């Protein structure tokens, strides 16, 4: 195991990633936990808060997403929030112990208009509160990425979500190459890349391995990797998808930790469907960040008290 932890992972082939992924479960956990301990403080997790600053009515057709206009879900559309309301939320997030504030907008892409100007003010305001500021706004041009960088944005979230071959089963309104292009624009502007995916959409082990390999090919490597477990939402094409087995969820987290020793691995959507024990195993395997508060963007999430108890049971504390 120790020799494997020292392998320069950027050069791993698909077969080598597959070997990591298919290790006996407890060997994989042990391997990932070793890498985690060599590279991170294993007793700390980062608490982040998400806010949907513009909800619903999105033109894209992402099969998992309750915010796509074409699906009939219970999500109520709402226009872009006022800058001051967003900053009030950010203040509360800071008081609640979060060190990162992530603003999500249900846009296909950013447009150069007054709404983008308002988002720029939100980023400046969040930064001035002493929080890390992250945005996820859809596709970005190089110039737009530069404006966000100039406003002080810490990170931009844009997920690859799955393998290139499975992507077409989930989204038809844009391509994998579009995703990669935005990620490149973000990196070129000097913004830290937050890029991860969703598991539990019906993809195969091979899709998960190919997804991890594509993540590994990004240069620079993402500093933040959200791993979402699909939350099936009524009205979306994936509404009847079975919840992923927690062992498979943990496997992906563990391999991500081995491949990205220095990144933050974030437990994102889907924690309400995971037991405390499964989440503890995910932390053991290298996850070191959670979104806190009862709502993610539109779906549920464990509340503060529940997470406090979980962290206490695990003997973990949050970064301050």
Closest distance of CB 63 from ligand SAM, Å: 9
Half-sphere exposure of 291 (CA within 13 A, CB side): 26
Binding letters toward ligand DTB, positions 228-247, x by CB under 6 A: x--x----------------
Q: Establish whether the linkage from the previous residue to 220 is cis, with ω within 30° of 0.
A: yes
Does the annotation mark 135 as catalytic?
no
Nearest-10 crossing angle of helices 246-259, 25-39: 40
Q: Does 222 bind ligand DTB (CB under 6 A)?
A: no
Say which DSSP state 200 is in: -
Nearer to ligand DTB, 46 or 157 (CB): 157
- Phi-psi group of 116: left, alpha or beta (phi > 0 → left; psi -120 to 50 → alpha; rest → beta): alpha
| Residues between 41 and 60 with contacts to ligand DTB, criterion CB under 6 A | 50
CB 249 within 8 A of CB 278: yes
| Nearest distance in Å: CB 299, ligand SAM | 6
The encoded tokens of residue 204 equal 């195969």
Task: State which residue, 35 or 227, has the beta carbon closest to ligand DTB.
Answer: 227
Query: Is 65 among the residues that bind ligand SF4 (CB under 6 A)?
Result: yes
In whole angstroms, what is the distance from residue 14 CA to residue 292 CA?
A: 34
Number of residues that bind ligand SAM (CB under 6 A): 18
Binding of residue 106 to ligand SAM (CB under 6 A)? yes
Smallest distance from ligand SF4 to CB 140, Å: 12
Which of 161/207 has CB closer to ligand DTB? 161
Residue among 310, 219, 263, 245 nearest 255 (CA): 263
CA distance 277 to 285: 12
Choosing among ligand SF4, ligand DTB, ligand SAM, none, which partner's interface includes residue 35 (Cβ < 5 to 8 Å by kind)? none
- Contact between 203 and ligand SAM per CB under 6 A: no
CB of 12 to ligand SAM, least distance (A): 24
Is position 58 annotated as part of the catalytic site? yes
Q: How far apart are CA 284 and CA 32, in angstroms?
A: 8
> Which one of 3-11, 12-20, 163-171, 226-234 is the stretch in contact with ligand DTB (CB under 6 A)?
226-234
Contact at 8 Å (CB) between 254 and 293? Answer: no
Please confirm, yes or no, whether 174 is among the known catalytic residues.
no
Give the CB-side neighbour count of residue 151, counting CA atoms within 13 A.
Answer: 25
Q: Which does 68 bind (CB under 5 to 8 A by kind): ligand DTB, ligand SAM, ligand SF4, none?
A: ligand SF4
Contact 190, 149 (CB under 8 A): yes
| C-alpha 127, offset from chain centre | 20
Catalytically active residues are 58, 62, 65, 102, 134, 194, 266
Residues that bind ligand SAM (CB under 6 A): 64-65, 104, 106-107, 136, 138, 158-159, 161, 198, 228, 230-231, 233, 269-270, 297
């Amino acid at each position: 195991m120790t020799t494997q932890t020292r392998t320069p992972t950027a050069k791993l082939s698909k077969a080598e990633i597959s070997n990591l992924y298919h290790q006996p479960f407890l060997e994989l956990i042990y391997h990932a936990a070793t890498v985690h301990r060599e590279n991170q403080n294993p007793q700390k997790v980062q608490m982040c808060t998400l806010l949907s600053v513009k909800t619903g009515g999105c033109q894209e057709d992402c099969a998992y997403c309750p915010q796509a206009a074409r699906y009939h879900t219970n999500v109520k559309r709402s226009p872009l929030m006022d800058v001051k309301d967003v900053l009030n939320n950010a203040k509360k997030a800071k008081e609640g112990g979060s060190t990162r504030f992530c603003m999500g907008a249900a846009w296909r892409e950013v447009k150069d208009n007054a709404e983008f100007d308002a988002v720029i003010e939100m980023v400046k305001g969040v930064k001035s509160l002493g929080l890390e500021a992250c945005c996820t706004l859809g596709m970005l041009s190089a110039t737009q990425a530069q404006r966000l960088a100039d406003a002080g944005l810490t990170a931009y979230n844009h997920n690859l979500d799955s393998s290139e071959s499975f992507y077409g089963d989930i989204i038809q309104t844009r391509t994998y190459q579009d995703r990669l292009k935005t990620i490149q624009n973000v990196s070129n502007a000097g913004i830290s890349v937050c890029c991860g995916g969703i598991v539990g959409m019906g993809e195969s082990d091979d899709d998960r391995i190919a997804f991890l390999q594509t993540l590994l090919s990004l240069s620079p490597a993402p500093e933040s990797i959200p791993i979402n477990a699909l939350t099936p939402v009524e009205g979306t094409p994936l509404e009847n998808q079975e919840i992923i087995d927690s062992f498979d969820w943990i496997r992906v987290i563990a391999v991500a930790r081995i491949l990205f020793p220095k990144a933050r691995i974030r437990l994102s959507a889907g924690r309400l469907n995971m037991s405390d024990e499964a989440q503890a195993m995910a932390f053991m395997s290298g996850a070191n960040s959670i979104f806190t508060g009862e709502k993610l963007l539109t779906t549920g999430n464990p509340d503060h008290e529940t997470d406090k108890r979980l962290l206490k049971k695990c003997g973990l504390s949050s970064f301050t």
